[in-house]
Amino acid sequence: MDNLTHSLVGALIGQTGLKRRTGLAMPALIFGANLPDIDAGCVVHGLESLAMRRGLTHGPIAWVVLPLLLAAFIWWFDRWQAKRGTRPESRLPVRFGWLWLLATLACLSHPALDWLNSYGIRLFEPFSQRWFYGDALFIVDVWLWATLGLTLAWSLWREKRDVATWRRPALAGLAAALAYINFNLVLTESARAATPQSQAIAVPVPIRFWERDLIVDVDGAVYMGKGLQRWSLDGGLARDVELLTQRPACLHPMQLPQFAPDNADLAAFLFWSRSPYIDRIERDGKIIDLLKDARFSGRASGQFSIAIPVPTEAETCYFE
């Protein structure tokens, strides 16, 4: 999920009352909820970063190491301020044990949320490179923003006015978010069940959370390919398959590395890709073959694509 969502979850956890357990609890929760995304710096490697993101910093080793490092830094920062005479008098005593526990709780919320979208997460890296997908929420969910943001603001407002029940809005916000997530998990399974293809991938749609794009394999007498169907809660399967690509069985995208074994971008893209397909386009008067992923066929397709060499011997049977 996006970092605003992670931050709101960390802040709401604090507003349930846990922020009163130790000084600097809120920084531990908010930074902890975002900490696994330190791997975002790998974007300097371009397309190769697709194979680096949501892996090691989101896996079991990071669940232990990252909260410990964060708690140690915050504890040191409090001591450093005290030595300089700049530590706020109103700050609660900083307890390392509570800092570590809260940072761990927040850090664990991050992979749990990241699992919910179709981008995926390597949950057990470095012990396994398998990708996991929840397919329940779009990576930026405005409804989740509204739920978390409004209940956080309500809780802070009540706390400022010293209302005894200031924790309740935060608890209600977290409960509502969990209910919304579970409802979307059910919608995803309902969308998959609506298509005869058991391996269909259900991709959440921005804003219209009650709809899913279904990525399906399209079989024909000669061609196989990738296509999209739209499913909605109120209308079921709303349209026939929109063909994204068509190909004969002579070449599959996963076979491309044998023609370009030293292409690091290609290897990274295929490692990350869940539903790869080849698209032939014309750009500046030239014919270009692009490797794409059906999850991002419409949204950000330019960002998630790579120009690839289609071998000469496969060209005649791949395109007509």
pTM greater than 0.85? yes
Question: What are the respective helix, strand and coil percentages of the chain, to the nearest 5?
Answer: 50, 15, 35
Contact criterion met (CB below 8 Å) for 270 and 276: yes
SS3 call for 28: helix
- Residues 168-177 have a mean pLDDT of 97
Mean per-residue pLDDT, 225-254: 73
On the question of pLDDT at 318 being above 60, the answer is no
Number of domains in the chain: 3
Kindly indicate the confidence band of residue 86, based on its pLDDT and cuts at 50, 70 and 90.
very high
158 and 200 inside one domain: no
Lowest-confidence pick of 38-42, 195-199, 276-280: 195-199
Residues 83 and 152 occupy one common structural domain:
yes
- Specify whether 111 is located in the same domain as 203: no
If one compares 2 and 197, the residue with the highest pLDDT of the two is: 2
Residues 254 and 231 placed together within one structural domain of the fold: no
Examine the domain organization and report whether 182 and 216 are in the same domain: no
In which domain, by residue range, is 219 found?
196-245
Say whether both 217 and 258 belong to one domain. no
Write down which residue in 245, 260, 284 finishes a domain: 245
Question: Could you tell me the pLDDT band of residue 114, with boundaries at 50, 70 and 90?
Answer: very high
**In a shared domain, residues 20 and 165:** yes
| Whether the bond into 204 is cis, omega within 30 of 0 | no
Amino acid 242 reads: E
Sorted by sequence, the CB contacts under 8 Å of residue 258 that are 6+ apart come out as: none
Task: Mark whether 162 and 255 lie in a shared domain.
Answer: no
Q: Of 222, 245, 268, which residue sits at a domain end?
A: 245
Same domain, 153 and 99: yes
pLDDT of residue 320: 46
36 with 67, same domain?
yes
State which of 153, 169, 188 marks the end of a domain: 188
pLDDT at 196: 75
Asked which of 77-91, 166-180, 280-294 is least confident by mean pLDDT, the reply is 280-294
Shared domain check, 108 and 11: yes
For residue 58, give both structure tokens.
Answer: 């989101």
Q: What are the CA-CA distances from residue 89 to residues 23, 81, 253, 278 (Å)? A: 11, 11, 62, 62
Same domain, 240 and 267: no
The pLDDT of residue 225 is above 70: no
Which of residues 5 and 43 earns the better pLDDT score?
Answer: 5
